[in-house]
């Protein structure tokens, strides 16, 4: 009878769903995949989810992945969760959620973010302390919103967790997080590797309300609790890693970090658009999140709120298939349907300009792609500059972008990014890089090996290289002009 390989499970608990991969720990081969949806509710800037649904979805996805893999559950040796960043989970004395979680793309906390950014010495002080200036997405701003708008819930909060923290605690029984996800709260100091006492005092939080910060996301938090083992159908001997945030896990899955590639920029096209690079530099730019990576390096990141979902909404409004697009021509779309984080315009709405009687609806959809891609690539230019690189330097532009996320599978997305960036692209063959990064963390927790080195050996970041196209300067300058006019209030 064949012997089952040693199997590790990586979970990507994202905004929209839970995805779990069962992976051969020796080769990185995906043996099985499971999915389960999440529900997001809210209007007028509110975006919330029930954390209990995250747990139910995780259980469903993990069981499906093990079943799909066809392996003996006893062969599973490790599990790790990578979760959507910044979400605020407020737990009561019974350790159950007091209310739905406030998600990263909930923009109601923009006034609280602005007020916090002006405290404790202003932007420079926040950059020095946390690497980031508070914006609406950051957990500190959401906690402050809760204190001001729902003081009864804030006062009843016995514990504060990020999404991946909550799930890791359900698995292991241990309240633990990692430096990567903790660095997205705006109350953790990456340079010190600890929570900042002055910021906790400002926010009315105590260390007792927060999880312990493990040295890395691959740190073993413990084994499965009896309840978790029964729910998942797995042995209690399974090592539970501390886990991390989704962007940090994607970096691991790409082999970025101290044991792999450094300073290789990544563009991720998903619900949000993100740009990041694993680096030893410590850029200080208020437009960037100065995150820590899960392995001790830095992971500066720029994030846009409106990416694939916004473009899909334009396709639906126009009655078009998402791939039925043409270049925008003189039509410009700023698809800021949820406000925008980069640039920091939380109250913005979508803008369409340049229409003629002869405008083809497919060009409007193409302009939505261009507006979303422009916003992401503009954030990339800011990231490179903050790391001491000139985005216009031919040598810098010759360095490939790693394109990941759901959009990387779309022809129009890849064509638009190539045209507006003027750079070669590497599109990894692996489709679940966040979950694969989490699987590498799980393997690290069970074996003690470096997860970035494991992912590099697995080859999960390898893929097709698309050569550079000539940069479409005309379209870039047209969109940049409309954004500048809109930000100055010259368009309505």
- The candidate with the shortest Cα–Cα distance to 266, out of 106, 407, 141, is 407
Give Cα separations from 13 to 3, 23, 87 (angstroms).
Answer: 30, 17, 12
**What pLDDT score was predicted for residue 41?**
96
Q: How far apart are CA 154 and CA 91, in angstroms?
A: 9
Q: How far apart are CA 98 and CA 110, in angstroms?
A: 22
Within its chain, how far is the Cα of 26 from the centroid?
27
- The candidate with the shortest Cα–Cα distance to 203, out of 280, 277, 147, is 147
Q: How far apart are CA 285 and CA 117, in angstroms?
A: 13
Provide the terminal-to-terminal Cα distance of the chain, rounded to the nearest Å.
70
Q: Which residues pair with 333 in a beta bridge?
A: 352
Give Cα separations from 372 to 14, 420, 449, 476, 478 (angstroms).
Answer: 20, 11, 39, 12, 14
Give Cα separations from 313 to 73, 93, 306, 362 (angstroms).
Answer: 41, 41, 10, 14
C-alpha radius of gyration, the chain, whole number? 22
**What pLDDT score was predicted for residue 1?**
38
- Residue 385 burial (CB < 10 Å; 0-12/13-18/19+)? middle
| CATH of 259-431+462-487 given 3.50.50.60, 3.30.420.40, 3.40.50.300, 3.20.10.10 | 3.30.420.40
Catalytic entry in 24, 246, 285, 415: 246
The two structure tokens encoding residue 339: 């406000």
Q: How far apart are CA 189 and CA 199, in angstroms?
A: 10
Q: How far apart are CA 40 and CA 49, in angstroms?
A: 5
Give Cα separations from 463 to 26, 286, 368, 431, 466 (angstroms).
Answer: 20, 33, 27, 10, 10
**What pLDDT score was predicted for residue 491?**
55
**12 belongs to the catalytic site:** no
Tens place of pLDDT per residue across the chain (492 aa): 355 689 999 999 999 999 999 999 999 999 999 999 999 999 989 999 999 999 999 999 999 999 999 999 999 999 999 999 999 999 999 999 999 999 999 999 999 999 999 999 999 999 999 999 999 999 999 999 999 999 999 999 999 999 999 999 999 999 999 999 999 999 999 999 999 999 999 999 999 999 999 999 999 999 999 999 999 999 999 999 999 999 999 999 999 988 777 778 899 998 889 999 988 888 878 888 899 998 888 999 998 999 999 999 999 999 999 999 999 999 999 999 988 888 888 889 999 999 999 999 999 999 999 999 999 999 999 999 888 889 989 998 888 999 998 899 999 999 999 999 999 999 999 989 999 999 999 999 999 999 999 999 999 999 999 999 999 999 999 999 999 998 887 654
Q: What is the model's pTM?
A: 0.88
- Provide CATH 3.30.420.40 ranges for the chain: 7-251, 259-431+462-487
Phi-psi region of 319 (alpha: psi -120 to 50; beta: other; left: phi over 0): left
Query: What CATH number does the domain located at 7-251 have?
Result: 3.30.420.40
- The candidate with the shortest Cα–Cα distance to 346, out of 292, 377, 305, 307, is 305
- The candidate with the shortest Cα–Cα distance to 376, out of 476, 233, 488, 243, is 476
- The candidate with the shortest Cα–Cα distance to 401, out of 386, 419, 412, 370, is 419
Could you give the 3-state DSSP secondary structure of residue 220?
strand
Q: What is the DSSP letter of 197?
A: H
**What pLDDT score was predicted for residue 3?**
55
**What pLDDT score was predicted for residue 87?**
97
The two structure tokens encoding residue 129: 């302390």
**Residue-by-residue DSSP string for 236-273:** TT-EEE--EEHHHHHHHHTTBSTTSB-S--EEEESSSE
Q: How far apart are CA 238 and CA 75, in angstroms?
A: 9
């Amino acid at each position: 009878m064949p012997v089952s390989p040693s199997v590790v499970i990586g979970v990507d608990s994202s905004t929209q769903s839970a995805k779990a991969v069962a992976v051969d720990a020796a080769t990185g081969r995906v043996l099985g995949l499971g999915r389960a949806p999440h529900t997001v509710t809210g209007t007028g800037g509110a975006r919330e989810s029930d954390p209990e649904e995250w747990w139910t979805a995780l259980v469903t996805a993990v069981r499906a992945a093990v079943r799909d893999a066809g392996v003996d559950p006893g062969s599973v040796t490790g599990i790790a969760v990578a979760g959507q960043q910044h979400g605020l989970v407020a737990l009561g004395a019974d350790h159950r959620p007091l209310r739905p979680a406030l998600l990263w793309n909930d923009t109601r906390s923009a006034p609280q973010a602005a007020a916090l950014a002006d405290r404790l010495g202003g932007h420079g002080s926040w950059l020095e302390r946390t690497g980031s200036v508070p914006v609406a997405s950051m957990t500190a701003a959401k906690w402050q919103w809760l204190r001001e708008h729902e003081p009864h819930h804030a006062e009843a909060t016995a514990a504060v967790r990020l999404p991946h923290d909550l799930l890791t605690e359900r698995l292991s029984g241990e309240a633990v997080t990692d430096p990567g996800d903790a660095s997205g709260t705006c109350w953790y100091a990456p340079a010190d590797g600890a929570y900042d006492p002055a910021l906790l005092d400002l926010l009315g939080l105590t260390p007792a309300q927060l999880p312990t910060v493990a040295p890395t996301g691959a740190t073993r938090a413990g084994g499965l609790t009896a309840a978790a083992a029964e729910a998942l159908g797995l042995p209690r001997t399974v090592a539970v890693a501390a886990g991390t945030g989704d962007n940090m896990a994607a970096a691991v899955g790409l082999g970025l970090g101290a044991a792999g590639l450094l300073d290789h920029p990544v563009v991720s096209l998903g619900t949000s658009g993100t740009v990041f690079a694993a680096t030893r530099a410590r850029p200080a730019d208020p437009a960037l999140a100065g995150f820590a990576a899960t392995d001790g390096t830095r992971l500066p990141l720029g994030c846009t709120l409106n990416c694939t979902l916004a473009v899909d909404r334009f396709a639906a409004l126009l009655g078009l298939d998402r791939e039925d697009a043409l270049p925008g021509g003189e039509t410009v779309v700023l698809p800021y349907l949820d406000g925008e984080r980069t640039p920091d315009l939380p109250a913005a709405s979508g803008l369409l300009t340049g229409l003629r009687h002869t405008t083809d609806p497919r060009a409007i959809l193409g302009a939505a792609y261009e507006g979303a891609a422009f916003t992401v690539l503009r954030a990339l230019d800011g990231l490179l500059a903050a790391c001491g690189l000139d985005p216009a330097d031919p040598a810098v532009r010759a360095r490939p972008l790693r394109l990941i996320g759901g959009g990387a599978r779309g022809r129009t997305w890849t064509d638009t990014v190539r045209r507006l960036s003027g750079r070669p692209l590497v599109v990894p063959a692996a489709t679940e890089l966040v979950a694969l990064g989490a699987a590498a963390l799980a393997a690290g927790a069970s074996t003690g090996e470096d997860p970035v080195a494991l992912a590099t050996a697995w080859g999960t970041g390898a893929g097709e290289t698309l050569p550079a196209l000539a940069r479409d300067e005309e379209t870039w300058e047209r969109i940049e002009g409309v954004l500048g006019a809109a930000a100055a209030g010259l368009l309505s």
